[in-house]
Amino acid sequence: MPIYEYTCIKCKRRSSIFFRSYSEVADPACSHCGSQEMRRLVSRFAVAKSEEARLDDMSDPSQLAGVDENDPRSIARWARRMGQEMGEEMGPDFDEMVDRMEAGEMPDDMDGGGGDDGDDDLD
């Protein structure tokens, strides 16, 4: 179900127009003044949406499924995948941290974040 964004030529306001099917995508009317002189905008928001969706994917718990937070190698694999998803250079600190985790070492600053050290009390 397509949603397109239009600018009204007459009143210059924007309308996001929702169509029930692709065959209906014709002669949209301004939701403000009813004019049919509409100019469709390049759907910049669609790009923003997919960017958002990509970030959502990364915070999606299912992305963390199979990651054993007590296994540094497992975290390292996830961190590398996340770095690739971001498509950005994460910097030497990140690489070094991942390298250390892949070597089986749990980095100190992983637990430094805020009182999440209650593991011993679980039983």
Half-sphere exposure (CA, 13 Å, Cβ side) for 107? 18
Which one of 2, 18, 25, 33 is in contact with Zn ion (CB under 5 A)? 33
Strand order in the sheet with 38-40: 14-18, 3-8, 38-40
For the bound state, the minimum distance from the C-beta of residue 17 to Zn ion, rounded and expressed in Å, comes to 12
- Write out the binding residues for Zn ion, residues 3-22 only, by CB under 5 A: 8, 10-11
Which one of 16, 32, 49, 91 is in contact with Zn ion (CB under 5 A)? 32
| Nearer Cβ to Zn ion (12/54) | 12
Give dist(CA 34, CA 10) in Å, integer: 10
| Nearer Cβ to Zn ion (32/54) | 32
| Nearer Cβ to Zn ion (37/117) | 37
- Contact between 30 and Zn ion by CB under 5 A: the answer reads yes
Report helix, strand and coil shares of the chain as percent, to nearest 5.
45, 10, 45
Give dist(CA 45, CA 4) in Å, integer: 10
Residue for token pair 């009317």: 29
Q: What sign does the CA torsion over 29, 35, 39, 41 have? A: negative
- Contact between 90 and Zn ion by CB under 5 A: the answer reads no
For the bound state, the minimum distance from the C-beta of residue 15 to Zn ion, rounded and expressed in Å, comes to 7
- Contact between 110 and Zn ion by CB under 5 A: the answer reads no
Residues near Zn ion (CB under 5 A) are 8, 10-11, 30, 32-33, 35
